[in-house]
A and B are shown apart, each in its own frame.
Chain A
Amino acid sequence: DIVMTQSPDSLAVSLGERATINCKSSQSVLYTSNNKSYLAWYQQKPGQPPKLLISWASTRESGVPDRFSGSGSGTDFTLTISSLQAEDVAVYYCQQYYSTQTFGQGTKLEIK
């Protein structure tokens, strides 16, 4: 199985500041025939199911605020929140879907 490792495990950022979460896969999740990385990001708030934010490493889902962005390719990926809002407090997960599906361990984002 592909192992997904996120860093850091937790993060405290001031309102309006940038938050950056990293995700590394144990092998490449880039499918060379279509040049797409099979990587998604989810946001989970307490007591709720995960919400899809980004697919294909950098494609923001409809309705997701543009302060959320994804980048990276191959084995190294980043989720960036450009200006943290109070409603962004949550746990964030990366997920690879290149070979079955595995998730990172999650990154807890809090307000400093």
Chain B
Amino acid sequence: QVQLVQSGADVKKPGASVKVSCKASGYTFTGHYMHWVRQAPGQGLEWMGWIDPRSGGTNYAQKFQGRVTMTRDTSVSTAYMELSRLTSDDTAVYYCARDVLVYGEVGYFDYWGQGTLVTVSS
């Protein structure tokens, strides 16, 4: 069965960077774009961008351009999301989510990771 297993919770100081991992299993990792979505405490969902695991190509939301980097390691079927220059506004649960479409992007998500809480605090 499809599973997306994310790394554990993390606490960072303002100005630092955080890297969250998402290990995929149960399907062909390179066959589906991987998106990242975040959710601040008690708030709604915010799309951050995607990575094409086959090519490594990325597309970031304008809000995060210059601050987010999405990468992947196909040898271990894992996607990564690194966010830099953290502020308290970046405190959120970060989710990876699989795009429904095979070898392309349609933009909605059928499987989600369990979420990773990133807390930014001095």
Q: List chain A positions with a Cβ less than 8 A from chain B.
A: 38, 40, 42, 49-52, 55, 61, 93, 95, 97, 100-106
Contacts and interface: CB of A to CB of B under 8 A. Distances in A.
Interface residues of B, number: 19
Contact of A93 (B35, B44, B107): B44
Contacts of A93: 44-45
Contact of B115 (A40, A49, A52, A61): A49
A55 B114 contact: no
B109 interface: yes
A87 to B, nearest CB: 19
Interface of B: 35, 44-47, 59, 61, 95, 97, 100, 106-110, 112-115
Nearest to B61: A100
B100 A95 contact: no
B112 A50 contact: yes
A97 B35 CA distance: 12
